[in-house]
Amino acid sequence: MLASSQPRVILVTGANKGIGFEIVKKLIKESPPNNNVILLGCRDLKRGQDALIQLCSPPNVHCLQLDVSSRESIFHATNEIKSKYGGQLDVLINNAAIGELELAVDSATEMFSINYYGIKILNEHLFPLIRENGRVINVASACGPIVLYEASESLQNQYTSSTLTLQQLDDLVEDFISSIGTHSIEQLGYNPKSLYLIYSVTKAAVISLTQIEARQWSGAKHVLILSVCPGFCTTDINKNAPGSRHPEFGADSILYVVNTPRNELKNGCFYRDGQLLPQIGRINREN
């Protein structure tokens, strides 16, 4: 993917299980150890070390303690990359996420702290370390376009505006969280019957965030910033729901945007299984 004699340095967040673990496993297999340095991001270092043992402790894979909901943890992880790995990254895969069905302010606050703010803040810290022609991959979901499809035209226009700013997106997020506490979700323009409502709005926000970051950052170092849906996979988020596909297929969907030649991808856009997806639409969730 990257024309360089140096090994790629790749960070995968939430990599000790599920889709993140499968991404690391596939990265190990796809090229010789001296081609990739893989940072296995994990909130719990013990679980990360256990995952490393499951992978047979390859010499090019290293645990990086990283809780994306904590600014302090992000700060320490950034410094560790600077001190141990030359202060450079080629690929950042923002995979860490949580899901919760309870429609409550506390649940929304926690989910957004990881699924949206965690990505936003980590990207702000790590973008200066991304090398020329690097990539930032924000893992989203088809639930994002679906929840906007079911929302008001006003909300659709705000989330998809080509002039949307980070502050305006933060305001959309905070207004949504507040509306849960004031029971005004519908008045704000969301459909309260949308499936996985809070989770879906976090992912709609991630897709919009990706577009803003692409506008703001990509020109500086020719960095590609993309969002991707792994598909409906068997993970802890959906409590290993029946009918879901194996996480390795989700990993394939993500690695497509990691490895595909730059000229075959559109910066700031949203993909699943190699296909470009709309920001608003009734997309099939099941694959």
Secondary structure of 182-214 in the HEC alphabet? CCCHHHHCCCCCCCCHHHHHHHHHHHHHHHHHH
Q: Is 190 a catalytic residue?
A: no
Report the pLDDT value the prediction gives residue 284, as an integer from 0 to 100: 76
* Number of domains the chain contains: 1
Q: Give a yes or no: residue 76 inside a domain.
A: yes
Q: Give a yes or no: residue 198 inside a domain.
A: yes
Q: To 5 degrees, how large is the angle CA 215–CA 266–CA 161? A: 45
Report the pLDDT value the prediction gives residue 37, as an integer from 0 to 100: 96
Q: Give a yes or no: residue 284 inside a domain.
A: no
Q: Where are the alpha helices (DSSP H) in the chain?
A: 18-30, 45-54, 71-84, 105-115, 117-126, 143-149, 153-160, 166-181, 185-188, 197-221, 247-259
Q: Give a yes or no: residue 261 inside a domain.
A: yes
Report the pLDDT value the prediction gives residue 33, as an integer from 0 to 100: 79
pTM score, two decimals?
0.95
Report the pLDDT value the prediction gives residue 248, as an integer from 0 to 100: 93
Report the pLDDT value the prediction gives residue 1, as an integer from 0 to 100: 45
Tens place of pLDDT per residue across the chain (287 aa): 444 568 999 999 999 999 999 999 999 998 887 899 999 999 999 999 999 999 999 999 999 999 999 999 999 999 999 999 999 999 999 999 999 889 999 999 999 999 999 999 999 999 999 999 999 999 999 999 999 999 999 999 999 999 999 999 999 999 999 999 999 999 999 999 999 999 999 999 999 999 999 999 978 899 999 999 998 877 777 666 667 788 999 999 999 999 999 999 999 999 999 999 999 999 876 54
Q: Give a yes or no: residue 185 inside a domain.
A: yes
Q: Give a yes or no: residue 122 inside a domain.
A: yes
What is the rounded distance in angstroms from the CA atom of residue 66 to the CA atom of residue 78? Answer: 9
Q: Give a yes or no: residue 134 inside a domain.
A: yes
Report the pLDDT value the prediction gives residue 4, as an integer from 0 to 100: 52
Report the pLDDT value the prediction gives residue 245, as an integer from 0 to 100: 84
CATH number of the CATH domain containing 231: 3.40.50.720
Q: Give a yes or no: residue 75 inside a domain.
A: yes
Kindly name the residue from 159, 199, 256, 271 that is annotated as catalytic. 199
Report the pLDDT value the prediction gives residue 34, as an integer from 0 to 100: 83
Report the pLDDT value the prediction gives residue 30, as an integer from 0 to 100: 87
Domain limits at 149? Answer: 8-277
